[in-house]
Amino acid sequence: MADKQMILVTGACGQIGTELVSALRVKYGTQQVIATDIRDATVDVSLHGPYYRLDVMDKDALYKLVSQHQVTHIYHLAAVLSATGEKSPLTAWDLNMRSLLNVLEVARTEKLKQVFWPSSIAVFGAKAPKESCPQYALTVPSTVYGISKVAGEQWCQYYHEQYGLDVRSIRYPGLISYSAKAGGGTTDYAVDIFQQAVNNSYYHCYLLENTRLPMLYMPDAVRATLELMDAPAEKISVRTSYNLAGISFTPQELAAVITDYIPDFRIDYQPDKRQQIAESWPSSIDDRQAREEWGWKPAFDIKAMTADMLLHTEREVISTDCLES
């Protein structure tokens, strides 16, 4: 039986939060998972359990919720992502760093049991190896998003070493899912392409056809997160953030698999600013340490992921409706 936990999730209405909140509620109980976000609740997160509007930059409001509900665990997902971050670098830095420090401080002072905070493959830059990028490759990122993730990783390690806080992290690759829209990252094409393929049999891609990037299907990402948080502390040697790999592919390779299901699907390519960001990232990731230490293993390859995405994209409408909170 899972330990009794009172979990608070920030940024719960986003691409990951929408699915992680559901998985946490299945595992720990509906009332044990408090979803929060700065925006009005989406149907997915508010219908099935407690929801509060929370700006995680508001330290007092965060403390209040944590103490009112005797929160034991925080999954801190609120952030500005890579492509959006480049449009307003100082805002991205401020949100990504200050919100993390608010969460780490409340966890330290209120003696929370665990914190989860996602990092990203964006920590790597042009100086890191492109292929099978190792856990401890140079992290010299070219985006403000990447800079904030490198700094965030160091802060997580600092809070672990100085205060014994059990903070755990994964460097997610680009995440592919159908329940919520992608949130302004460089890998969003691998989400948008399915909607466009199903509705229009056509996709206008903002990356070049041969741009290979590391990706992961959301069910794998959610499972990895739960498995990391469940692992015995003595198995966790990385307190910055774990490399995690799933599937690496190019837009052309993904289009070819989609064409197996939608024969008249067409794609063309016109790179925009996101191409430059994509080129600064590794094309594949070495995640041996996650595999060896806490047993990580992805389940979905490109074919299985595509089949599942198309199945759900055909049947479901992406939920953008908002409810008043």
Ligand X SMILES: NC(=O)c1ccc[n+]([C@@H]2O[C@H](COP(=O)([O-])OP(=O)(O)OC[C@H]3O[C@@H](n4cnc5c(N)ncnc54)[C@H](O)[C@@H]3O)[C@@H](O)[C@H]2O)c1
**Which residues have a catalytic role annotated?**
145
Q: By beta-carbon distance, which residue lies closest to ligand X?
A: 14
Taking the least distance from each CB to ligand X, the nearer of 13 and 309 is 13
DSSP 296-315: ------HHHHHHHHHHHHHH
CB crowding 290-324: b at 16 or more within 10 Å, else e: bbebbebebebebeebbebbbeebeeeeeeeeeee
Residue from 34, 81, 147, 150 that binds ligand X (CB under 6 A)?
A: 81
Stretch that binds ligand X, among 26-34, 72-80, 256-264, 316-324 (CB under 6 A): 72-80
Residues 244-283 that bind ligand X (CB under 6 A): none
Rounded to the nearest 10 degrees, the angle between the axes of helix 302-315 and helix 189-200 is: 50
Taking the least distance from each CB to ligand X, the nearer of 180 and 234 is 180
Residues 101-120 that bind ligand X (CB under 6 A): 118, 120
Binding mask 9-48 for ligand X (x = CB under 6 A): -xx-xxxxx-------------------xxx---------
Taking the least distance from each CB to ligand X, the nearer of 55 and 166 is 55
> Quick one: how far is CA 226 from the chain centroid?
13
Stretch that binds ligand X, among 51-59, 63-71, 194-202, 227-235 (CB under 6 A): 51-59
Using rule CB under 6 A, residue 55 touches ligand X: yes
- Cβ of residue 20: shortest distance to ligand X, in angstroms? 8
Identity of the residue numbered 216: L
> Quick one: how far is CA 304 from the chain centroid?
20
Taking the least distance from each CB to ligand X, the nearer of 54 and 197 is 54
Q: In whole angstroms, what is the distance from residue 72 CA to residue 218 CA?
A: 25
Q: In whole angstroms, what is the distance from residue 278 CA to residue 187 CA?
A: 8
Provide the terminal-to-terminal Cα distance of the chain, rounded to the nearest Å. Answer: 33
- Name every residue whose Cβ is closer than 8 Å to that of residue 317 and which is 6 or more positions away in sequence: none
- Cβ of residue 203: shortest distance to ligand X, in angstroms? 18
Residues 173-212 that bind ligand X (CB under 6 A): 174-175, 183-185, 187
Using rule CB under 6 A, residue 92 touches ligand X: no
Q: In whole angstroms, what is the distance from residue 77 CA to residue 224 CA?
A: 15
Taking the least distance from each CB to ligand X, the nearer of 53 and 266 is 53
Taking the least distance from each CB to ligand X, the nearer of 6 and 95 is 95
- Name every residue whose Cβ is closer than 8 Å to that of residue 29 and which is 6 or more positions away in sequence: none
Residue from 43, 57, 138, 226 that binds ligand X (CB under 6 A)?
A: 57
214 phi, psi to nearest 5 deg: -75, 135
Residues that bind ligand X (CB under 6 A): 10-11, 13-17, 37-39, 54-57, 77-79, 81, 95, 118, 120, 172, 174-175, 183-185, 187
